[in-house]
Structure formats: structure tokens, C-alpha cells
Amino acid sequence: MNIIQLFSLLDLKSDHILKFGTEDYIRIEKKINFEKKISSGIHANAGEDLIAALKEYKEELLFIISNRVLFNFFTHNNFSKDFFLNYNLTVSDEKIKHFIALFLVEDLISFFTLKLSKSTYENLEELDFLLDLKRYFSEEIIYKMSLLAFSKLDFAVSKLSVMKKGSEVSAISYIKYRTFYDLLSHFTSVELDKRISELLSLVIKFYKKNINIQFFTSVIQSMAFYKAFNESINDTLVKNRDGVSVFREDVDNVEASPIMKIILAVICVLIPFLVTKCS
């Protein structure tokens, strides 16, 4: 249990943080000791760290607790913005970065890993929102997160490389979500562009074979949300999205006869795709 979870468990009032004094710390320590007796999830250092944060890092703690994205992430909640008060705090990025590195770094990485492994649209979206705040994370933290995100992409590429039937996509269903590419865009680089190009090549191969067309159409459409380092790759992804989107609209609007279905199948195979190649 991290100090944000413990703060929430103790039902402390965020608007009192800046006013806490010696008597308050004694009272809070007693509450922590009581909770330890009835809950095995509270580690010894969590209580000590919370008291230290309340004494020495009041503004930083209040900043985290009043930030919807950070509070929800560290407490596994999904409170709306109405739950949070605006304290108009001005705390430097470096102070927040130091605070997170001091008290929250382990859970930051472990929760990131957990949510990434779940691979749902919502979890990927939450990580995207979290990375909008990466200015508060150290370079080491960002590097670890990038490796985790890259491994997710590499896994999809390796699966598609050996896949015989396009129906075997349950393990990589996340590549159809735009939030996956929003997430990857936080780590854009020449190397990541290459990996995206590899994925695109494989996806197009299945699409042209008219295999699991709905899934791979969704993938091509979502890939357009990746913000590449190389602008030409962005153009390619957008053109491919527009191409399959127009085609699917035409297909959906046609009550096809058997002859028409054959014609559409042929057209599907012949759609010109742009596949990027990065040197």
C-alpha cells in the first residue's frame, strides 16, 4: 500500500494538509497503528512515509492527491473531476518529480505494468492520460515505461509473424484500440517508427487476404492515431485509414448479390496500400 492509498484509507481531509501540526501527526500515527492491526496490507514503511510526506512535503502531497489522474492511478479509483478540489497550487515539476521518486516510484512502475498487461481500451487510455504528466517522472522511469510499451508492440509483431489464421487474435486484440497508439506516441522515436512499420506490413498482409477483415480494418484505422517521429509515416497511416474507411462504408451500404460479393472481394484485395519502410 502506497502513501496515497493509505491517506485515502485513513479518510484524511485534503484541505487540512497544509494546516497539519504536531498534534495532528500524533493522531494520524495512532490511526495508522490501528489500521495495521486490522489490515495486513499496510507495510511498516507506508505509515512512516506518509507522516514524513505530511511533515516535509505538504504541497507535493496535496498536489498528487488533488490531481485526478495521479490520485485515481495510485488508488485504483475512477473518481470524476467533481470529486477533486482546486487548490491553485504552484509546485515545480522538479519537486513533484522528486516526491514521486522518493515515495511512489515502485507502485508507479508496478501499476503501469499491471494496467498495460490487462490491455483493455480503458486501461490503455488511463496510461495515456498518465503519460501526459510524464514531466513529473524521472528519465529512468520513462525509460522503463518505454521498454514495457515496446515489448507490447513487439509481442504483437511476433504473434502476427507466425500466425496462420487471422482469427487467432485474442492475445493481441489491443492493437485494434486507438488508445494503444496514443500510448505509444509518448515514446515516439526512429526505432519505434520502424516497429510500427513492421506491424503495418503484417496487418496489411492479412487485410489483403480478406482474413478477419473487421479486426484488421479496425487496426488500420486505429494506427492512424500514432504520432510518428517521421512525418511521412503519419501521412501513410492516415491515407491507409482513409482508404479502408471509405471502402468499408461502401461495403456496408451495398446489399450485395453473389456476383457483387465476388467483385467486392477482388476490390478488397486490390486496394493500394502504402507500407512504410524505415532505413
For residue 184, which of 232, 134, 127, 114 has the smallest C-alpha distance? 127
Give the count of domains, the chain: 1
Q: Are 128 and 179 in contact (CB under 8 A)?
A: yes
Determine, yes or no, domain membership for 26. yes
> According to the model, what pLDDT value does residue 37 have?
85
> According to the model, what pLDDT value does residue 247 have?
53
Determine, yes or no, domain membership for 24. yes
Annotate 178-213 with three-state secondary structure.
HHHHHHHHHHCCHHHHHHHHHHHHHHHHHHHCCCCH
Determine, yes or no, domain membership for 262. no
Q: Residues for the chain: how many in total?
A: 279
* Residues 156-174, mean pLDDT to the nearest whole number: 89
Determine, yes or no, domain membership for 220. no
C-alpha–C-alpha distance, residues 126 and 112, integer Å: 10
Amino acid at 231: E
Q: Assess whether pLDDT exceeds 70 at residue 279.
A: no
Mind listing the pLDDT tens digit for each residue in 205-247?
Answer: 999 888 788 999 999 999 999 999 999 999 999 999 988 876 5
* Residues 102-115, mean pLDDT to the nearest whole number: 97
Q: Are 62 and 85 in contact (CB under 8 A)?
A: no
In this structure, of 52-56, 100-104, 225-229, 271-275, the range with the lowest mean pLDDT score is 271-275
> According to the model, what pLDDT value does residue 278 have?
45
Q: Assess whether pLDDT exceeds 70 at residue 253.
A: no
State whether residue 31 is helix, strand or coil.
helix
Determine, yes or no, domain membership for 11. yes
Average pLDDT, the chain: 87
Determine, yes or no, domain membership for 74. yes
Determine, yes or no, domain membership for 30. yes
> According to the model, what pLDDT value does residue 248 have?
55
Q: How confident is the model at residue 274 (pLDDT cuts 50, 70, 90)?
A: low
DSSP assignment string, 42-81: --HHHHHHHHHHHHH-HHHHHHHHH-HHHHHHHHT----G
Determine, yes or no, domain membership for 12. yes
Q: Return the half-sphere exposure (C-beta side, CA atoms, 13 A cut-off) of residue 52.
A: 11
Task: List phi, psi (to 5°) of 272.
Answer: -75, 125
Annotate 121-148 with three-state secondary structure.
HHHHHHHHHHHCCHHHCCHHHHHHHHHH
What are the C-alpha distances in Å from 165 to residues 173, 201, 213, 216, 223? 14, 16, 12, 12, 21
C-alpha–C-alpha distance, residues 272 and 71, integer Å: 47
Range of the domain at 29: 1-82
> According to the model, what pLDDT value does residue 213 have?
87
Mind listing the pLDDT tens digit for each residue in 10-52?
Answer: 999 998 999 999 999 999 999 998 988 887 778 778 899 999 9
Highest mean pLDDT among 34-38, 97-101, 159-163: 97-101
